[in-house]
Amino acid sequence: DKGNHRHFMEKEIYEQPEVISHALAHYVDLGDHTVETSICGAIDFASLRSLAISACGTAYLSGLIGKYWFERYARLPVEIDVASEFRYREIPLAKDQAALFISQSGETADTLASLRYCQEAGLKIGAVVNVKESTIARESDAVFPILAGPEIGVASTKAFTCQLTVLASLAIAAGKLRGTISSDEEKQLVRSLSEMPRLMSGVLNAIEPKIEALSRELSKYKDVLYLGRGTSYPLALEGALKLKEISYIHAEGYAAGELKHGPIALIDENMPVIVIAPFDRFFEKTVSNMQEVAARGGKIIFITDGKGAAASKLPTMETITLPNVAEIIAPMVYSLPIQLLAYHTAVFMGTDVDQPRNLAKSVTVE
């Protein structure tokens, strides 16, 4: 049932504040802003030398953001790859590592094969899944449900932000177990997570009209580039994936710092550049990349916050201003304009948004 929405994808975008609340209630203590280390189950983060993460598509990109968090908050090195490569790379593994597999469906063939590879090497296996009865969940030592509810749209939206919510909670718990975050930091991080549902509802209500108008414009272009740094880099990849998947417009995501190593050659007035840049410790660097785009006649769509909008004086095609948020929740909050932009652009293009051509919701063959 789509309720009063035109597509499942739209419904699922709007469900995010609610399903994230459910996930948070399961993983963190919303009253005293702490995380129970028992949420880690059979994964003994305290004694791990490193963590391997593998997944496909959007689930891989949530894992990539998870890598930034595990490394930063738990000082735990993370090896991550798409499952179709991971399973064949003959990665040397040892028992003081654990492996985490992320999958909405829990049935993705390559992800399952990577899991079995790690199992054979004797690693403890954790699964971040939406479908709790799935094969990947059944074959794991620890199951971390994302509690997003059924996701029908082929383009993953709420599963992505719920995966991020779970990964953030696990990274904080791992940091606590490894003694790499103080209890003050723990409280601050969990308080930020707890603010997400309210902030996300506010953003959804505020940005839709502007995004719709912008999408009409974007639907006229053939190529789009997304740029970001830090956790906004995987988000740039996710933005490009979402747009190409449902609107069939060619899109690429790049780490902003890679611009001058190749993609800058593509910049002209025919390729809009979507810059994802909260006012964080990377902001100045990203703005200097934006300058390089502007100097070559590139059209910029700037997704930032109040401070960022005030700090940059560059002309843009459009600026989407979000609230100033803590660094740990920026990937979830900034997912919203990214998802809505892809959604409305696809609606303007007249594509089959929930069932885009050539794609399946669950990829059970290699």
Q: Minimum distance between the CB of residue 163 and ligand M6R, rounded to whole angstroms? A: 8
Q: How far is CA 240 from CA 52, 55, 176, 246, 324, in A?
A: 25, 18, 34, 10, 24
346 sits near ligand M6R (criterion: CB under 6 A): no
What mask of x and - would describe binding to ligand M6R in positions 59 to 98, judged by CB under 6 A? x---------------------------------------
Among 57, 66, 272, 298, contact with ligand M6R (rule: CB under 6 A): 57
How many chain residues bind ligand M6R (CB under 6 A)? 16
Q: Minimum distance between the CB of residue 105 and ligand M6R, rounded to whole angstroms? A: 3
Positions marked active-site: 361
362 sits near ligand M6R (criterion: CB under 6 A): yes
The three state secondary structure string of the chain is: CCCCCCCHHHHHHHCHHHHHHHHHHHHCECCCCECCHHHHCCCCHHHCCEEEEEECHHHHHHHHHHHHHHHHHHCCCEEEEEHHHHCCCCCCCCCCEEEEEEECCCCCHHHHHHHHHHHHCCCEEEEEECCCCCHHHHCCCEEEECCCCCCCCCCCCHHHHHHHHHHHHHHHHHHHHHCCCCHHHHHHHHHHHHCHHHHHHHHHHHHHHHHHHHHHHHCCCCEEEEEECCCHHHHHHHHHHHHHHHHCCEEEEEEHHHHHHCHHHHCCCCCCEEEECCCCCCHHHHHHHHHHHHHCCCCEEEEEEHHHHHHCCCCCCEEEEECCCCHHHHHHHHHHHHHHHHHHHHHHHCCCCCCCCCCCCCCCCC
CB 13 within 8 A of CB 343: yes
58 sits near ligand M6R (criterion: CB under 6 A): yes
What mask of x and - would describe binding to ligand M6R in positions 156 to 195, judged by CB under 6 A? x---------------------------------------
Q: Minimum distance between the CB of residue 247 and ligand M6R, rounded to whole angstroms? A: 13
Among 53, 56, 168, 237, contact with ligand M6R (rule: CB under 6 A): 56
Positions 132 through 161 that interact with ligand M6R (CB under 6 A): 154-156
Q: Minimum distance between the CB of residue 142 and ligand M6R, rounded to whole angstroms? A: 18
Among 21, 103, 169, 192, contact with ligand M6R (rule: CB under 6 A): 103
What mask of x and - would describe binding to ligand M6R in positions 277 to 316, judged by CB under 6 A? ----------------------------------------
Q: Minimum distance between the CB of residue 359 and ligand M6R, rounded to whole angstroms? A: 6
110 sits near ligand M6R (criterion: CB under 6 A): no
Q: Minimum distance between the CB of residue 196 and ligand M6R, rounded to whole angstroms? A: 21
Q: Which residues contact 299 (CB under 8 A, 6 or more apart)?
A: 269, 271, 272, 273, 316, 317
CB-based closest residue to ligand M6R: 57
Among 21, 97, 111, 289, contact with ligand M6R (rule: CB under 6 A): 111
Choices 57-65, 74-82, 139-147, 300-308; region in contact with ligand M6R by CB under 6 A: 57-65
Positions 243 through 262 that interact with ligand M6R (CB under 6 A): 245
In the complex, which residues of this chain contact ligand M6R (CB under 6 A)? 56-59, 103-105, 108, 111, 154-156, 245, 359, 362-363
